[in-house]
Amino acid sequence: MPRGALIVLEGLDRSGKSTQVDRLVAHLQASGRDARVHKFPDRTTSIGQMINSYLQSKSELDDHAIHLLFAANRWECAAQIEKDLAAGTTVVCDRYAFSGIAFTAAKVRRDTRNWGLAALQLSKANDCAAGLRVSRASSELAVNWWYSLARLTPILPPLLSTHATTDTSQGIDFTYCLTPDTGLPLPDTTLFLTLSPEVASKRGAYGEERYETLDTQTRVREQFALVGREMAARHPGRWEEVSAEGTMDAVEAKVWTRVQAVVKRVEAGGEGSELGRLWV
């Protein structure tokens, strides 16, 4: 019996992924195949509940810690995915390791903003002169002022950098971001649904969760482009962009055409049809 295919749909928040995942599974089943969805994050597990609470801003976590939890959440499902694939079931994932990379790598990099924040922390910690204290309302101004001061005062930067390294809003290296998922089952194809962050932001229920801001999604979009490049270099032919700008039916047809071709290739067996390992 041929193994099932591993299909991933990726995209920004509100790009219509979940709808397309459901429609794709319906197509697969109507064509006589066994198909199953895996949604990531899988919020039903205990790791998934920690992730859920973070996404709903009910808890705070260090950027590295939440990144590793997202990866762990995939690893705890990996054995089941492999079992399903081996049993001939096509597995469709709603997000996968690529979201893991793009969303973490998009976090604010260590830049002037972090220097400003570090300066702010320092001023709070020392509670120096009255002029160094900042009210919440004027904090933006104060941050800029502190940043200028930090630049001008030779002894401050080394002091501030100690604070900056503990600042959880600093960016995380791209290679670091992809490492924890190394070795996961390699998707036979990943369809990246492209939709401009502006269009996505106008869709219903936008803004309910932590990353659903135009600023974040725009940076995530840039990181997804780098993920696509990484895939082209390391796993050629397994990453495809599909425009999600049209009607749901039009997108559905495009997705099904592409997936059908991949599923048939996997079913045919032969060279390159065995399950691969991500980034290996």
Chain residues in the site for ligand TMP (CB under 6 A): 13, 40-41, 55, 70, 95, 99-100, 103, 209, 211
Q: Which H or E run includes 39?
A: strand 35-39
CB of 47 to ligand TMP, least distance (A): 11
Q: How many residues bind Mg ion (CB under 5 A)?
A: 1
If the CB atoms of residues 71 and 263 are measured against ligand TMP, the closer one turns out to be 71
> Which structure tokens are listed for 37?
């969805």
Q: Phi then psi for 111, rounded to 5 degrees?
A: -140, -160
CB of 41 to ligand TMP, least distance (A): 5
CB of 209 to Mg ion, least distance (A): 5
If the CB atoms of residues 145 and 206 are measured against Mg ion, the closer one turns out to be 206
CB of 201 to Mg ion, least distance (A): 12
Q: Which stretch binds Mg ion (CB under 5 A): 6-14, 123-131, 196-204, 261-269?
A: 6-14
Alpha-carbon gap, residue 155 to 115, rounded angstroms: 14
Binding site partner of 41, from ligand TMP, Mg ion, none, Cβ cut-off 5-8 A by kind: ligand TMP
Provide the b/e sequence for 172-202 (b: ≥16 CB within 10 Å): bebeebbebbeebbbbbbbbbbbbebeebbe
If the CB atoms of residues 55 and 253 are measured against ligand TMP, the closer one turns out to be 55
If the CB atoms of residues 13 and 94 are measured against Mg ion, the closer one turns out to be 13
Q: Give yes or no for residue 188 binding Mg ion (CB under 5 A).
A: no
* Nearest partner of 101 among 16, 7, 184, judged by Cα: 184
For the window 12-41, what string marks contact with Mg ion as x by the rule CB under 5 A?
A: -x----------------------------
CB of 207 to ligand TMP, least distance (A): 11
Q: Give yes or no for residue 42 binding Mg ion (CB under 5 A).
A: no
Q: Which stretch binds Mg ion (CB under 5 A): 10-18, 39-47, 169-177, 246-254?
A: 10-18
If the CB atoms of residues 103 and 115 are measured against ligand TMP, the closer one turns out to be 103
Binding site partner of 197, from ligand TMP, Mg ion, none, Cβ cut-off 5-8 A by kind: none
Looking at residue 237, what DSSP letter applies? T
From edge to edge, which strands make up the β-sheet containing 239-243? 35-39, 90-94, 6-11, 189-194, 239-243
Looking at residue 238, what DSSP letter applies? S
Task: Return the axis-axis angle of helices 156-165 and 139-152, rounded to nearest 10°.
Answer: 130
The Cβ of residue 256 has, within 10 Å, a number of other Cβ atoms equal to 18
Binding site partner of 95, from Mg ion, ligand TMP, none, Cβ cut-off 5-8 A by kind: ligand TMP
252 and 134 Cβ atoms separated by less than 8 Å: no
If the CB atoms of residues 13 and 252 are measured against Mg ion, the closer one turns out to be 13
If the CB atoms of residues 147 and 224 are measured against Mg ion, the closer one turns out to be 224
Alpha-carbon gap, residue 178 to 91, rounded angstroms: 22
The Cβ of residue 81 has, within 10 Å, a number of other Cβ atoms equal to 21
Residues that bind Mg ion (CB under 5 A): 13
